[in-house]
């Protein structure tokens, strides 16, 4: 049994293809795909990280449609999945909220295709048995250097072949499956 | 080492949420996410199955942009990924093309969240060591009964919990990772 687990999808600060720090746009599919994924694997929170107020409003409008509006009755599975969703302005706010829920031992783990020296999946699975994790995913071309300055552990890339350019949706799916597994169970965080 | 492998994403015949047979629309993200996924795992073909001519034209236009046009220079990773893509009018046409490339032993394997009695991942991994597979994914609410009439093997669902509503993008990622693995290698099909 794994300790409670959460994911954060970061839209700022992330890099673009030239290496500049940008705010990326929230996409509807990222909201749904990752919420359904997180729910399927028993996670307790899915943080959408964006400082852009108009993006936060967009997320809330989409989430409200499926949680409360016509969508909740039309599609109860999406309703349930979006119950995990929290919109926050920064990764720090996500870490703070998650630690408030599961305790100060909760540890962010950064994911990225460039982490050639990152911890193995086996090592992070062991971590996950002992403390609540917050898996951090970057949009665009990955998390910006500021986030690495925290010294949080980094997870190795999904594949080490010559081609490793997965979308954040498919990479997150593979990472959760490797950590939790086909039959693995994750403890639920205390409800709020 | 696994035998050559391919995937097919079926837009017809598939079911909608009421269980009616429909043609679903091709989405830009499905094209890119699954092409990049298939390339990362060493697959040889990604068949987009749709009988709708205007959809086929749309796919070809998108693929041409990234393979030949401005996009090919702008983003060589997408260029390479879309080299696997083939647009076909039916699943039968995909099977025929794949068998033409890798031989008559090539076997379609159907995926679906409802395959409670499906073969285990372990069993399908063993299959994949001995014969080329074509993994078949349905859009919408899954493959229609006509496709099951072929008697092809079915793969068990990704998760057996009470909530199992993954998008086809995340399900395909998990399935390829379970079959091929972090370091697994797949033989390339003969080039054409």
pLDDT digits (tens, 9 = 90+) for B10-41: 999 999 999 999 999 999 889 999 999 999 99
Question: Nearest Cα to B90, choosing from B154, B33, B7, B8?
Answer: B8
Average pLDDT score, chain B: 92
Structure confidence at residue A75 (pLDDT): 73
pLDDT tens string B87-134: 999 999 999 999 999 999 999 999 999 999 999 999 999 999 999 999
Nearest beta carbon to residue B167 from set A36, A41, A178: A36
Query: What tokens were used for A69?
Result: 């509006």
Taking CB atoms and an 8 Å cutoff, what residues of chain B touch A161? 40, 42
Structure confidence at residue A192 (pLDDT): 44
Structure confidence at residue A191 (pLDDT): 52
Q: Does residue B85 surpass a pLDDT of 90?
A: yes
Nearest beta carbon to residue A174 from set B17, B159, B174: B174
Q: Do B159 and A32 touch (CB under 8 A)?
A: no
DSSP string for residues in chain A: -BPPEEEEEE-SSEE-TTS-EEPPPP-HHHHHHHHHHHHHTT-SEEEEE---HHHHHHHHHHHHHHHTSHHHHH-HHHHHHHTTEEEESSHHHHHHHHHHHH-TT-EEEE--TT-TTPBPHHHHHHHHHHS-EEEEEESTT-B-HHHHTT---BBPPS--SS-----HHHHHHHHHHHHH-SS--BPPPPP-
Taking CB atoms and an 8 Å cutoff, what residues of chain A touch B75? 17
Structure confidence at residue A52 (pLDDT): 94
Rounded to a whole number of angstroms, the distance from the CA of A12 to the nearest CA of chain B is: 22
Structure confidence at residue B191 (pLDDT): 52
Query: Which residues of B sit within 8 Å Cβ distance of A?
Result: 17, 29, 32-33, 36-37, 39-42, 75, 77, 80-81, 121, 158-161, 163-167, 169-174, 177-178, 182-183
Structure confidence at residue A161 (pLDDT): 77
Instruction: Please list the ranges in chain A whose pLDDT falls under 50.
Output: 192
Structure confidence at residue B53 (pLDDT): 94
Structure confidence at residue A6 (pLDDT): 98
Structure confidence at residue A160 (pLDDT): 82
pTM value > 0.90: yes
Q: Does residue B60 surpass a pLDDT of 70?
A: yes
Query: What tokens were used for B80?
Result: 């390479």
pLDDT class of B192 with cuts at 50, 70, 90:
very low
Closest Cα in chain B to A27: B29
Structure confidence at residue B52 (pLDDT): 94
């Amino acid at each position: 049994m794994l300790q409670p687990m959460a994911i954060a999808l970061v839209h700022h600060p992330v890099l673009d293809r030239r290496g500049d720090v940008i705010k990326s746009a929230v996409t509807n599919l990222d909201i749904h795909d990752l919420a359904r994924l997180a729910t399927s694997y028993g996670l307790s929170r899915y943080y959408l990280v964006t400082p852009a107020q108009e993006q936060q409003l967009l997320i809330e409008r989409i989430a409200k449609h499926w949680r409360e509006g016509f969508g909740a009755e039309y599609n109860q599975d999406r309703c349930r999945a979006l119950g995990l969703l929290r919109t926050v302005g920064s990764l720090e706010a996500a870490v703070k909220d998650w630690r408030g829920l599961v305790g100060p031992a909760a540890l962010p783990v950064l994911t990225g295709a460039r982490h050639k020296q990152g911890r193995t999946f086996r090592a992070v699975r062991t971590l996950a048995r002992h403390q609540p994790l917050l898996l951090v995913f970057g949009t665009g071309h990955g998390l910006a250097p500021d986030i690495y300055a925290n010294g949080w552990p980094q997870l190795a890339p999904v594949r080490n072949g010559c081609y490793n350019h997965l979308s954040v949706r498919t990479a997150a799916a593979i990472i959760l499956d490797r950590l939790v597994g086909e039959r693995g169970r994750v403890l639920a965080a205390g409800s709020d």
